[in-house]
């Protein structure tokens, strides 16, 4: 088999596995096997740029940057949908339809996915472009970002039309969204408000590798253009599946409005089990001939109707807007509501997100507002009932100074959030920082909880995390709900935190954008806090995977005199501000400049330990063999293609023992 065939075969195989994994949810090989194949392909492509294919499965990781998204006119307009709210609405709609078309009417019921609409154009089975809905007539070309979404086929299978558009929704499933937010919170950033906005924001990121990292999914529901003998909506869904698209299986063909309502009632409950947000049902006249006859109004097709799930929305009165200050100083406006039952819980508060949101919805105190519980845990206000507004109501003026410390708020260019810049004295920031410091992933202090921290600050016993180490049992015992034993545990827990490793201390300091992973990177690179304090912004940016935003934030933190004093005090108390001697002893530069590829199964140490050894000793681990590779470390069952490749390029293949000898030197 020649190289070209080999490449094509790998691409085809990977495409199939990708489809099985991301579209059908039924993988037949392990992730590991998949990775091996992918790497194999990467190596071949690197060696043979002449066989470049913009739709290769290796390009899913993104990487290209879009500065300005080009505007594209849709081949056919992307309409909106009319809404219905009751059985009567649906029956009225049916009556209107039956006047316009002949014969019996059947309906396809689909779920209404709540994400960002997208139109994908395919030509000769290849994804040509992906365009956002925009104003329906023209949208933004976001192809590079959409290509990174694994369930979007880059090449189709079966018998497809030469050129067509397929439309659908890009969604962010709940678990992926929750994970993204956990990471943001850990990095001291504000969590995203909801999956839908985050999904649409993800399409407009300039760096496509960032989009690639987000667990987006693409669900499709509409074909337009040449039809390939398709006669009905239901059939077109099946066809789209055949061609490789992800078309959810929940859709159903029914022959009456009663059937539609049954579908609505069923999914109103069951949608809670779906992995992504849905906000209703879309009913479509099934017969495409009838659809053509019905046509469109100025805004929406006459042949389709949305039916929003309604159970999860209530009206209540907004009593007051208060403002919360987070540990990074970010201000979050909170709606204090007249308590109301919603989706099984009593709701008293809802997030208003930021000043823009309040302005956009024109929310005022004493307004009657619509509250909704979507995928997020915190309910949100989605609108105001303007008819119920009192004549003398006053427009909301966003606060200009911190509700806790009275400092004037700031807002960075392009950011939605206001911040209180008084990080040294603003109480919730002080408390928040200490709470972060003691949290599980940072210093993990047993016997000390978030509420106790707040109490200690209020009582004037501590003002920063270094103060924790000066606390005595006698000071703590008089506190509310403290007893001899719990006070002892608290002090003991604090003392024990002196053993916590440097990387976790670094994370615990609460530097904005320095989450767990970044802290690890910095700790490993600089080895001690003084080196980090001395590092310039340029030097920081040059560390692997540290971007400008992080570098600036690190610099800003250590440029503040108080923060440097804080570090000095931690040092005096014996907190680990450098990599431990033991760890350091296992580190060296003997592998400096050497690039390793690790393959196969090892006996004395695990694959991960081996990789760690390489990195700890200054070497680099690469996933694919190229002319730059210094050594291939081979264990049992090393793939034949790898050894072939190594031999061809004349790269030495060494054993586990050879490698360990190398490190010992
Ligand atoms: P709206 O934004 O309320 O006007 O609703 C129209 C939007 O619903 C469309 O632009 C689509 O993005 C979205 N939608 C979600 N699921 C479906 C579906 N199954 N069929 C048609 N449109 C859908
Ligand atoms: Zn403040």
Give distance in angstroms: CA of 342 to centre of ligand 1. 25
Q: How far apart are CA 180 and CA 172, in angstroms?
A: 10
**Per-residue pLDDT reduced to its tens digit, 146-181:** 999 999 999 999 999 999 999 999 999 988 988 888
Look at strands 653-654 and 631-634 and give their pairing. parallel
For residue 592 and ligand 1, the question of a CB distance below 6 A is answered with no
pLDDT for residue 377 = 58
Give distance in angstroms: CA of 463 to centre of ligand 2. 15
What atom in ligand 1 is closest to the CA of residue 306? Answer: 5
**Per-residue pLDDT reduced to its tens digit, 363-382:** 999 999 999 875 445 788 88
For residue 307 and ligand 1, the question of a CB distance below 6 A is answered with no
Q: Examine the pLDDT at 311 and tell me if it is beyond 70.
A: no
Give distance in angstroms: CA of 111 to centre of ligand 1. 9
Which has the higher per-residue pLDDT, 586 or 645?
Answer: 645
Angle between helix axes 3-18 and 31-47 (nearest 10 degrees) is 150
What is the dihedral sign for C-alpha 187, 190, 194, 197?
negative
81 in Cβ contact with 300 (< 8 Å): yes
Q: Residue 372: exposed, middle, or buried by beta-carbon count in 10 A (0-12, 13-18, 19+)?
A: buried
- Token digits for 594? 């050497």
Q: For residues 69-81, give the mean pLDDT.
A: 89
Q: For residues 554-565, give the mean pLDDT.
A: 94
Angle (nearest 5°) at CA 221 between 215 and 225? 120
> How many C-beta atoms lie closer than 10 Å to residue 412's C-beta?
9
In 3D, which of 362, 361, 360, 364 has the Cα closest to residue 390?
Answer: 364
Task: Report DSSP state, residue 113.
Answer: E
**Ligand 1 mutation pick, 82, 114, 117, max ligand atoms within 8 A of CB:** 117
pLDDT for residue 131 = 96
54 in Cβ contact with 276 (< 8 Å): no
**Ligand 1 mutation pick, 237, 245, 283, 306, max ligand atoms within 8 A of CB:** 306
Closest-lying ligand to the alpha carbon of 301?
1
Q: For residues 463-492, give the mean pLDDT.
A: 92
In 3D, which of 281, 316, 368 has the Cα closest to residue 89?
Answer: 281
Which neighbouring-strand residues pair with 352? none
For residue 81 and ligand 1, the question of a CB distance below 6 A is answered with yes
**Per-residue pLDDT reduced to its tens digit, 331-348:** 999 999 999 877 656 788
pLDDT for residue 327 = 87
Residue 200: how many CA atoms within 13 Å on its side-chain side? 17
Take atom 9 of ligand 1 and give the residue whose Cα is closest.
Answer: 80
Helix intervals (H) in 536-587: 537-541, 548-559, 561-572, 581-585
Residue 35: phi and psi, rounded to 5, are -60, -40
Give distance in angstroms: CA of 21 to centre of ligand 1. 26
For residue 267 and ligand 1, the question of a CB distance below 6 A is answered with no
- Token digits for 221? 């529901």
Closest-lying ligand to the alpha carbon of 221?
1
Q: For residues 103-114, give the mean pLDDT.
A: 94
What is the dihedral sign for C-alpha 23, 25, 28, 31?
positive
For residue 404 and ligand 1, the question of a CB distance below 6 A is answered with no
**Active-site amino acid positions:** 112
**Ligand 1 mutation pick, 74, 78, 85, 112, max ligand atoms within 8 A of CB:** 112
Q: Rounded to whole angstroms, what are the CA distances from 392 to 136, 169, 182, 366, 385?
A: 38, 42, 42, 10, 15
Angle (nearest 5°) at CA 126 between 121 and 132? 30
What atom in ligand 1 is closest to the CA of residue 133? Answer: 10
Take atom 10 of ligand 1 and give the residue whose Cα is closest.
Answer: 80
If you average pLDDT over every residue of the chain, what do you get? 89
Closest-lying ligand to the alpha carbon of 329?
2
Task: Report DSSP state, residue 192.
Answer: P
Give distance in angstroms: CA of 414 to centre of ligand 2. 21
For residue 282 and ligand 1, the question of a CB distance below 6 A is answered with yes
Q: For residues 112-126, give the mean pLDDT.
A: 94
For residue 232 and ligand 1, the question of a CB distance below 6 A is answered with no
Give distance in angstroms: CA of 115 to centre of ligand 1. 9
For residue 80 and ligand 1, the question of a CB distance below 6 A is answered with yes
Q: How far apart are CA 577 and CA 452, in angstroms?
A: 26
Give distance in angstroms: CA of 197 to centre of ligand 1. 15
- Percent of the chain surpassing pLDDT 70: 98
For residue 180 and ligand 1, the question of a CB distance below 6 A is answered with no
**Ligand 1 mutation pick, 169, 223, 313, max ligand atoms within 8 A of CB:** 169
- For residue 42, the SS3 value is helix
**Per-residue pLDDT reduced to its tens digit, 598-649:** 887 788 888 778 888 888 888 888 877 888 899 999 887 776 777 888 888 8
- For residue 630, the SS3 value is coil
152 in Cβ contact with 210 (< 8 Å): no
Largest Cα separation within the chain, whole Å, is: 88
> How many C-beta atoms lie closer than 10 Å to residue 133's C-beta?
21
For residue 399 and ligand 1, the question of a CB distance below 6 A is answered with no
Take atom 16 of ligand 1 and give the residue whose Cα is closest.
Answer: 112
Length of the chain: 665
- Three-class SS string for 325-366? ECCCCEEEEEEEEEEEEECCEEEEEEECCCHHHHHHHCCCCC
Angle (nearest 5°) at CA 118 between 115 and 123? 150
Q: How far apart are CA 619 and CA 409, in angstroms?
A: 47
> Which of 82-91, 400-409, 427-436 has the weakest average pLDDT?
82-91
- Token digits for 98? 């039956």
For residue 306 and ligand 1, the question of a CB distance below 6 A is answered with yes
Give distance in angstroms: CA of 251 to centre of ligand 1. 14
pLDDT for residue 228 = 66
Give distance in angstroms: CA of 234 to centre of ligand 1. 17
Q: How far apart are CA 632 and CA 39, in angstroms?
A: 14
For residue 299 and ligand 1, the question of a CB distance below 6 A is answered with no
pLDDT for residue 310 = 65
pLDDT for residue 375 = 45
- For residue 155, the SS3 value is strand
For the chain, first and last CA: distance in Å? 43
Q: Examine the pLDDT at 489 and tell me if it is beyond 80.
A: yes
For residue 367 and ligand 1, the question of a CB distance below 6 A is answered with no
């Amino acid at each position: 088999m020649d190289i070209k065939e080999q490449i094509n075969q790998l691409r085809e195989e990977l495409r199939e596995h990708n489809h099985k994994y991301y579209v059908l949810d039924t993988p037949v090989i392990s992730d590991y096997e998949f990775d091996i194949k992918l790497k194999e392909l990467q190596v071949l492509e690197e060696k043979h740029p002449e066989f470049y294919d913009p739709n290769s499965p290796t390009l899913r990781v993104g990487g290209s940057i879009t500065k300005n998204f080009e505007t594209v006119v849709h081949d056919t307009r992307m309409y909106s949908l009319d809404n219905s709210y009751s059985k009567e609405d649906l029956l009225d709609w049916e009556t209107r339809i039956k006047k316009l078309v002949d014969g019996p009417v059947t309906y396809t019921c689909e779920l209404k996915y709540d994400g960002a609409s997208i139109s994908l154009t395919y030509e000769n089975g290849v994804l040509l472009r992906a365009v956002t809905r925009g104003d329906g007539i023209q949208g933004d070309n976001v192809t590079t970002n959409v290509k990174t979404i694994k369930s979007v086929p880059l090449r189709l299978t079966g018998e497809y039309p030469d050129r067509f558009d397929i439309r659908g929704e890009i969604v962010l499933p709940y678990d992926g969204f929750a994970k993204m937010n956990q990471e943001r919170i850990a990095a001291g950033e504000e969590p995203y408000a909801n999956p839908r906005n985050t999904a649409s924001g993800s399409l407009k990121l300039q760096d496509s590798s960032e989009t690639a990292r987000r667990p987006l999914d693409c669900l499709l529901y509409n074909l337009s253009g040449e039809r390939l003998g398709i006669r009905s909506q239901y059939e077109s869904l099946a066809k789209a599946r055949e061609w490789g698209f992800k078309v959810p299986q929940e859709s159903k063909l029914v022959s009456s409005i009663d059937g539609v309502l049954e579908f609505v009632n069923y999914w109103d409950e069951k949608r809670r089990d779906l992995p992504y947000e849905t906000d209703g049902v879309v009913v479509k006249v099934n017969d495409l001939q009838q659809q053509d006859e019905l046509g469109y109004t100025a805004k929406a097709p006459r042949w389709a109707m949305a039916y929003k799930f309604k159970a999860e929305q209530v009206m209540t009165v907004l009593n007051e807007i208060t403002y919360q200050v987070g540990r990074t100083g970010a201000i979050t406006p909170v709606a204090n509501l007249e308590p109301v039952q919603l989706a099984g819980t009593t709701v008293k508060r809802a997030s208003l997100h930021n000043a823009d949101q309040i302005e956009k919805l024109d929310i005022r105190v004493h307004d009657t507002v619509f509250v909704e519980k979507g995928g997020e845990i915190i309910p949100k206000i989605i609108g105001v009932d303007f008819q119920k507004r009192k004549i003398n109501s006053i427009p909301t003026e966003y606060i200009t100074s911190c509700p806790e410390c009275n400092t004037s708020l700031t807002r960075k260019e392009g950011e939605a959030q206001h911040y209180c810049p008084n990080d040294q004295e603003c109480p919730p920031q002080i408390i928040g920082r200490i709470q972060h410091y003691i949290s599980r992933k940072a210093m993990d202090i047993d016997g000390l909880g978030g509420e106790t921290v707040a109490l200690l600050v209020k009582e004037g016993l501590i003002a920063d995390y270094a103060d924790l180490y000066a606390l005595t049992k006698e000071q703590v015992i008089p506190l509310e709900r403290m007893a001899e034993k719990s006070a002892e545990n608290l002090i003991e827990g604090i003392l024990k935190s002196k053993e916590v490793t440097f990387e976790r201390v670094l994370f615990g300091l609460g530097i904005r954008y320095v989450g767990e992973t970044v802290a690890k990177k910095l700790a490993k690179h600089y080895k001690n806090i003084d080196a980090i304090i001395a590092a310039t912004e340029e030097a920081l940016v040059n560390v692997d995977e540290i971007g400008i935003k992080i570098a600036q934030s690190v610099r800003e933190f250590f440029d503040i005199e108080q923060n440097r004093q804080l570090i000095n005090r931690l040092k005096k108390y014996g907190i680990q501000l450098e990599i431990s001697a033991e760890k350091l002893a296992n580190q060296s530069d003997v592998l400096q400049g050497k690039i390793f590829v690790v393959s196969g199964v090892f006996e004395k140490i695990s694959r991960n330990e081996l990789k760690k050894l390489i990195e700890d000793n200054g070497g680099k681990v690469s996933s694919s063999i190229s002319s730059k590779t210094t050594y291939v470390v081979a264990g049992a069952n090393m793939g034949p293609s790898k050894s072939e490749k190594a031999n061809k390029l004349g790269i030495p293949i060494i054993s586990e023992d050879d490698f360990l000898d190398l490190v010992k030197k």
